[in-house]
Amino acid sequence: MIRIVQNDITKLQVDAIVNAANQVMLGGGGVDGAIHRAAGGELFEACLKVPEIKPGVRCPTGEARITPGFKLPAKFVIHTVGPVYRDGLHGEPEKLANCYRNSLALAVENGCKSVAFPCISTGVYGYPIEDAAEIAVGEASAFLASHTDMTVVFCCFSGYDRRVYEELLTASAISATV
């Protein structure tokens, strides 16, 4: 099932929340900063233990890594790194789609039944919310078709973003509880 909420993702009572991280995966601003603040210092320590695949890169763009949620209500944090938006013609859509796909795969591997996503890449990384939401809903719908026991929550921080998701789901006649 798909749910759309307008909330601070650190408050959600779900099995896993997804973090819009950067490749270093040691925190940052935006939702990354909020999640690290709410989870506490143990999250930083857990991220530090994630092996670098090359200097300064623990999680390449489009991939995902999982850590415990520590002080968060969520059991896990799935860190994914969205693309920095240029013009949509440099592989951004595929990389963003991979963020959703790889995060959902990690959620399944770790027995999660509910996963909440922020609007990945639509803040500092500049991805237009309308285009990003279309990718997010497309990936979630395809995934849920073969994982009917799971819930994907789109956690919007602004009313504008929530309306974008609502209109998208209405237009594509995908059922969602708001």
Residues that bind ligand APR (CB under 6 A): 8-10, 20-22, 28-34, 82, 118-125, 155, 157, 161
Asked if residue 114 lies in contact with residue 93, where contact means CB atoms within 8 angstroms, the answer is: no
Which residues are the active-site residues?
Answer: 32
Pair of tokens at residue 117:
């996503």
Please tell me the distance from the alpha carbon of residue 96 to that of residue 18, in angstroms, as a whole number.
Answer: 13
Q: How far is the CB of 178 from ligand APR (least distance, A)?
A: 16
Q: Measured from the CB atom, is 30 or 68 closer to ligand APR? A: 30
Pair of tokens at residue 123:
């803040």
**β 64-68/76-80 pair status:** antiparallel
Q: Measured from the CB atom, is 70 or 173 closer to ligand APR? A: 70
Q: Measured from the CB atom, is 146 or 178 closer to ligand APR? A: 178
Q: How far is the CB of 149 from ligand APR (least distance, A)?
A: 25
Nearest to 178 by CA among 10, 19, 7: 7
Q: How far is the CB of 83 from ligand APR (least distance, A)?
A: 9
Phi-psi region of 149 (alpha: psi -120 to 50; beta: other; left: phi over 0): alpha
